[in-house]
Amino acid sequence: MGRTGTISLKLGLEILLGQPCYHSYEISEKHRDHIPVWRDIFEQLKRDPNSSIPAEKIRKLFKNYRATTDHPACALHRQLLHIYPQAKFILTLRDSRAWIKSIRETVMPHKPHFPPTFAGRLGERIVLGAGFMYSNTLSFNYALGWDVDITDDEQCAEAFDRRTEEIIRTIPPERLLIYRVADGWEPLCQFLNLPVPNIPFPHANSKEDMQRMFDTMRRRRNTMLAIILLIVLVLIVLCIILPICLATRS
């Protein structure tokens, strides 16, 4: 789940594997065309939780990637278990109360970063890609359970703990590493049968990092909205002044 060290793990896996690791950041930065695909997957699972996701659809999303962390893929551990029968799984642990507190302070606050207004939707389209937050919220809700009220912190924390237990029951122990990013390279490298790098394990995406990122996003959104507003005002002025000038000349 997001806010359990998924960016640090992504960076660590990229060092170990020498290939890209899929993450929600990859979607907004490189693959905005993936947003409707993920949306359709989770809307299908909302209609019918027991329905199967075509393996080819998942493989196409992960083309040129060796691993994946974070949303939306982390919600699909049961499906990925069968689509990739040789894959290994890493369950990143965190105290559930600390986790939901971090969620509310960063990626999913009670007051949304992009409210359901014209300006909010336009800002999301510019900064993250149209529908990104909706798709991400669907994956979050599916991971915790459709019956969980994701605006309720207590329900989310309890669902997080249930999900951790369900993953441990579902994934064969030889394919599962239960991991905290604070443990660094050793358990990760042992699990993947890879040598320990001679560089420090990457630690990134702290609460402060996330807040700086969202501040940057808001500034970018506000700048783009100001530019759009200026263009609209110029067009309005031209539409008013140009006919007057033409009429005066004639």
In the chain, the amino acid numbered 17 is L
Contacts of 116 (CB under 8 A, 6+ apart): none
Tell me how far apart the alpha carbons of residues 90 and 175 are, in angstroms, rounded to a whole number.
Answer: 8
Number of separate domains in the chain = 2
Residue 1: inside a domain, yes or no? no
Tell me how far apart the alpha carbons of residues 67 and 235 are, in angstroms, rounded to a whole number.
Answer: 48
What is the total residue count of the chain?
250
Residues 104, 79: one domain? yes
Residues 47, 70: one domain? yes
Residues 245, 154: one domain? no
Contacts of 149 (CB under 8 A, 6+ apart): 155
Residues 87, 41: one domain? yes
- For tokens 């389209």, what's the residue? 125
Tell me how far apart the alpha carbons of residues 73 and 79 are, in angstroms, rounded to a whole number.
Answer: 10
Q: Please report, to the nearest 10 degrees, the dihedral formed by the alpha carbons of residues 60, 141, 29, 96 taken in order.
A: -120
Tell me how far apart the alpha carbons of residues 175 and 191 are, in angstroms, rounded to a whole number.
Answer: 9
Q: Domain of 42: which CATH number?
A: 3.40.50.300
Residues 162, 227: one domain? no
Residues 64, 138: one domain? yes
Residues 117, 234: one domain? no
SS3 67: strand
Q: Which residue spans within the chain are E strands per DSSP?
A: 21-22, 67-68, 89-92, 176-179
List per-block mean pLDDT (blocks of 10 residues) for the chain, which spans 250 residues: 94 98 94 98 97 97 97 98 98 97 92 84 86 96 98 98 98 98 97 98 73 66 76 84 70
Residues 113, 151: one domain? yes
Residues 25, 72: one domain? yes
Tell me how far apart the alpha carbons of residues 110 and 82 are, in angstroms, rounded to a whole number.
Answer: 35
Residues 107, 176: one domain? yes
Residue 86: inside a domain, yes or no? yes
Supply the pTM of this predicted model: 0.85
Range of the domain at 116: 6-203
Q: Are 59 and 9 in contact (CB under 8 A)?
A: no
SS3 131: coil
Residues 171, 215: one domain? no
Residues 149, 223: one domain? no
